[in-house]
Structure 1
């Protein structure tokens, strides 16, 4: 005989998993290279893949670096 399923545990696990929305990331196009690694002032790295690099909207250091450099264009999403 099957056990009745507790609905509260199913709902809790669904509430924990939240997909990252596309609005929370910004994408830039590298105008010179299709593949390279961008090293940020704080030592972190960002991969450029197929001329694209994505950063979180709240990452002020990465955004400042990419926006200040003329080799990167922010894509309209």
Structure 2
């Protein structure tokens, strides 16, 4: 005898394919170096690559760190 399909195991295809909204990114230009590693006060690191470093706009610690140092310049998107 065949088992009936359990509807609780089937996902709604619309819900399953929904993606999370993309995070907004802010980019700063490093006026001194084209490559370096920055260490934030909470011991996280940020990589400067090709003279730029990008952070999520919701990362207040990283944004405040970069804005507080004169060697980083906010780039217009």
The offset of 1:18, in angstroms, is 2.8
List alignment gaps of at least 5 residues for structure 1: 1-7
Name the structure with the higher helix share.
1
When normalised by structure 1's length, the TM-score is 0.78
Q: CA RMSD in A?
A: 1.4
Which of the two has higher C-alpha Rg?
2
The count of corresponding residues between Structure 1 and Structure 2 is 67
Q: TM-score, normalised by structure 2?
A: 0.78
What CA distance in whole angstroms lies between the structure 2 residues aligned with 1:42 and 1:63? 13
CA distance in structure 1 between the partners assigned to 2:60 and 2:54 by the alignment: 13
